[in-house]
Amino acid sequence: MSLAASPSNTIFTLSPNIYVLPIVHGSGDMAQTVRDIMVSQDVDCLALPLPPSVETLVEEGVASLPIISLVVCPEQHEDESSRCSYVPIDPCQPVIMGIRVAMGEGIPRAYLDREVAAFQPTSWVGPDPYVLKTVPLASFSAGTIPFLPSPQMGTQRQARIAWMAFRLHELELDYRKIVYLCPLMDWPWVRQAYLDRMPYVVPEQPSGRPAWWDVKPASLYFLLSELPFVTQLYEQRRAEARADTHLSIDGMKELVLEARSRWLASRSTTVAQEANWVTPQLLQRYFHYVRNRTLLEHRLKPDLYTLVHAAQQMAGDAFALALLETAKTYEYQPDSSRLVIKPTATMGIGELQDPGGEILPATNRLQGDPQAWRSLTLRPKPPIPQKQSWAHQWDPYRQCSWPPEDLRIESFASHVRQQSQQALGADLARVERFSTSLEDGIDLRETLRQWAIKPQRSVFDLQVKVTPPARGTIEVLVFLFEVPADPNVYTWRTTWFAEHQEESTLSFYATPFSSQMVGPGIGQARYGGTMFLYPPRPIPDIWDNPLFNFTTTLEERLLAGACAHSQEPHVAVVSPVPLKAAWRNIARRYGRKLVPLPLHRFSGQTVARLRQFHVLNGHEIRSYAAKFIHE
């Protein structure tokens, strides 16, 4: 069956020789549609909506794929300002895909667009071509006709449409099966101009010769229609001859999983619970959230802002930054280490920096949906020289904590104390035969066991639990985050006293904050182990006290200080491992009893957030610390 004979595609037929394929620029899904039609039909000419002046350089750029480049056309506007327009050599652009297929199949190409001295774009937001997975192209294109902006008489757009219609008539004289990649926005008017043989205006003289430039890898996001990482996946699938039908969505999933792998690689794996708290369950909720936000914005595919913002909300700044950096990855793009380098441009939204360093307003001739800046506050790591400068300015005689972190960790310590109280009562629990009260509930296990021993018992012969209230309170709480703790890592050991009665006296060992400066007068450290004494009272620093020199590890010294300063018989210990015999011996030495709580009872995300804390170089730093501290 020929292109014109397909019943579902007759609306695209201009004549027995011309088949118009309406396209939406800047879509990998539309590029797939173009490729599938080109390779499945007998075509002897591909007509393109580009001017003849860019033909040679564009095809050289297509031959150089998967290296991304652009063809730049200099322009001189009426105000005599220097500007430019450009053609992105992007494998996910439908026009570039058509050229790529035609070059591979040996199909002649015809560049039909009218030459202009200054290209004037028409902005239009089209439907998401991902719907082509389930909706025929004919229905997709016809459904957009009522919403297409019509060209005004005397405008550049109207002149270009009339010229392309004229060029189609010329092509019919030489070719019998022509496929014309027509922008969907212009399709109905190109058809009308072709049928009415609308008069045309001869092309203008271009302002200068086009140039072919490379693009810096860091600015590829502003040039490519899909995310650089997803574009890379398209090229990998092409090289491996693998299917890429749903890659525009599946690529987003691979992007998040790759970002998670990089995020994990950048974190400490000593405590697996903390390193792996971005679990499959969290990712499932993340994808549901991204889907809902995308639908609320009337789109079918999420953009980078939605992906990164959702990652920040659900997993924090570090994961969002990893996702952002991964999304910008395009491994095929050469860097400055290449021996032979073409002139390189840096891209932005609506502008580019040419190889000479001049910034020019730039117009994309294959522009898809318009790009716009959206604000999102992410705090990347400062450069090493700046961190060193902040460290040199530190006053060693002034330091304090950051109040939001104090509130968070004190609230968590209060919660752990309540759980320790419950554990104390659980040790005194007993089981009794039901008489007049269910007490603390029916003990099903013991009831069934009694029925099995004496089958003649009545079904109303129940065993109930009795949990008497615990005596005493938990005054001292100890957190051991890593066991064993490396003394070469946790070199900062000190005791902090409470600023008010709602804070605990705190003794801890942690990483040195001076090696991780995050702002002027702001250092970041990570707890290895902590001791909370509440209600607060002053105590000698346990790290300098010779009474605890019998201990051999950081954990033992912290526990010795906790047992020595506790006025209650019980000391709660939260640890990733069961209590060791040496720890119990220390408790007996001071007449105390340890109440164990497993660290895995708490989520890895919570533990990771609590372990990280900041040290400020004076109370005045609190006025601006929030600008540098990640929440």
At 150-163, the pLDDT tens digits run 888 889 999 999 99
Structure-token match 């460290």, residue found: 391
Whether 1 shows a pLDDT value over 50: the answer reads no
Query: b/e map of 138-155 (b: 16 or more CB within 10 Å)?
Result: bebbeebeeebeebeeee
| Dist CA 584 CA 427 (whole Å) | 17
Whether 477 shows a pLDDT value over 90: the answer reads yes
Banded model confidence at residue 460, pLDDT cuts 50, 70, 90: low
Which pTM value belongs to this model?
Answer: 0.75
Banded model confidence at residue 436, pLDDT cuts 50, 70, 90: confident
Question: Which residues are within 8 A (CB) of 433 and not within 5 positions of it... i.e. 6 or more apart?
Answer: 461, 462, 463, 464
Quick one: tokens of 276? 């792996």
Query: b/e map of 73-99 (b: 16 or more CB within 10 Å)?
Result: bbbeeeeeeebbbbbbbbbbbbbbbbb
Residue 326: what are its φ and ψ, rounded to 5°? -65, -40
H/E element holding 518?
A: strand 517-519
| Dist CA 483 CA 605 (whole Å) | 19
At 408-433, the pLDDT tens digits run 999 999 988 888 877 776 566 677 77
Mean of the per-residue pLDDT values for the chain?
A: 86
Identify the three-state secondary structure at position 288: helix
562 touches 531 (CB < 8 A): yes
Tell me, what DSSP letter sits at residue 513? G
Q: Is 630 exposed, middle or buried (0-12, 13-18, 19+ CB in 10 A)?
A: middle
H/E element holding 348?
A: strand 344-348
Whether 459 shows a pLDDT value over 60: the answer reads no
| Dist CA 302 CA 249 (whole Å) | 9
At 194-223, the pLDDT tens digits run 999 999 889 888 888 999 999 999 899 999
Residue 127: what are its φ and ψ, rounded to 5°? -70, 160
Average pLDDT over residues 341-368: 88
What is the CA angle 231-383-391, rounded to 5? 155
| Dist CA 206 CA 73 (whole Å) | 8
Q: Is 223 exposed, middle or buried (0-12, 13-18, 19+ CB in 10 A)?
A: buried
Q: Which residues pair with 478 in a beta bridge?
A: 531, 573
Question: Which residues are within 8 A (CB) of 383 and not within 5 positions of it... i.e. 6 or more apart?
Answer: none
Query: Residue 6: what pLDDT?
Result: 46
| Dist CA 169 CA 146 (whole Å) | 27
Banded model confidence at residue 458, pLDDT cuts 50, 70, 90: low
Structure-token match 């389930």, residue found: 134
At 484-524, the pLDDT tens digits run 899 999 999 999 998 888 899 999 999 999 888 888 999 99
What spatial distance separates the first Cα and last Cα of the chain, rounded to whole Å?
62
10 touches 25 (CB < 8 A): no
Quick one: tokens of 562? 């906790």
532 touches 464 (CB < 8 A): no
Q: What percent of the chain has pLDDT over 70?
A: 92
Residue closest to 412 by CA, chosen among 501, 530, 499: 530
Query: Residue 272: what pLDDT?
Result: 47
Taking each helix axis as running N to C, give the angle between helix 187-196 and helix 156-172, from 0 to 180 degrees, rounded to the nearest 10: 60
85 touches 362 (CB < 8 A): yes
